[in-house]
Amino acid sequence: MSAALLDRRDVVARLLADRRDLLVVSGLGSATYDCAAAGDDPRNFYLWGAMGGTAALALGLALAQPTKPVLGITGDGDLLMGLGTLTTIGAQAPANLSIIVLDNEVYGETGEQPTATAHGTDLTAVARACRLNAVDEVADMAGVEALAARLHAGDGPLFANIKIAPGNPEKVLPARDGAYLRDRFRGAVLGDAA
């Protein structure tokens, strides 16, 4: 265990620093703000709602785009709402899909009420039991660095739960019109076929 929990913005900035052809789906709330803070990109699909849907949306995308790495990045609250999706991902086992949870053990948007992970639910163990390739604790930036490389390795479905420091950094708000986000994402991924 490291002395200090990781900063969510540092983690996401590092994961996306050398993203190459990575496609990103971010869960509502802080994960979406973190991805926007790391630098807007048409290949980011920001969720502003649809809680519980991040991992499922990333799975559908990964099956449609098997030659590109796909990252679903979200908070513990969103993953817990759609926890059954881990069973679906394990059964489909797409090698190009990674799910990363920024686990602050609270519902950060609504007053910091503790989630089940604050009471000991071990999402890494859950993911492993669903047959995802779950990495062990990512406790420092060297671990984040290694994880960033794994996103492109094609040995998924990869899963990582990263314990992050409490607190809400300044909100960085990306576009929130869904039809606009849809069109620019499809344009970036599919080109003229969009």
Residue 170 or 192: the one with the smaller Cβ distance to another protein is 192
Joined tokens for residue 108: 């950060």
Residue 177's CB: how many other CB atoms inside 10 A?
9
Rounded to a whole number of angstroms, the minimum distance from the CB of residue 63 to another protein is 5
Which residue number, 92 or 113, has a Cβ lying nearer to another protein?
A: 92
- Give me the least distance between CB of 145 and another protein, in Å please: 27
Nearer to another protein, 27 or 108 (CB): 27
Contacts 24+ apart (CB under 8 A), 12-20: 12/37, 12/38, 12/73, 12/102, 13/37, 13/38, 14/141, 14/144, 14/145, 14/148, 15/71, 15/73, 15/100, 15/144, 15/147, 15/148, 15/151, 16/41, 17/148, 18/148, 19/43, 20/69, 20/152
Nearer to another protein, 36 or 181 (CB): 181
Q: Which is nearer to another protein, 6 or 70 (CB)?
A: 70
Write down the least CB distance from residue 120 to another protein, Å: 23
Chain residues in the site for another protein (CB under 8 A)? 23, 25, 45, 48-54, 56-65, 82, 84-85, 87-88, 91-92, 178-179, 181-182, 185-186, 189-190, 193-194
Least separation, in Å, of the C-beta of 102 and another protein? 19
For 34, phi and psi rounded to 5 degrees? -65, -45
CB of 94 to another protein, least distance (A): 9
Residue closer to another protein (CB basis): 48 or 168: 48
Q: Number of H helices and number of E strands within the chain? A: 8, 8
In angstroms, what CA-CA distances link 128 with 37, 89, 174? Answer: 30, 11, 33
CB of 45: closest distance to another protein in angstroms?
6
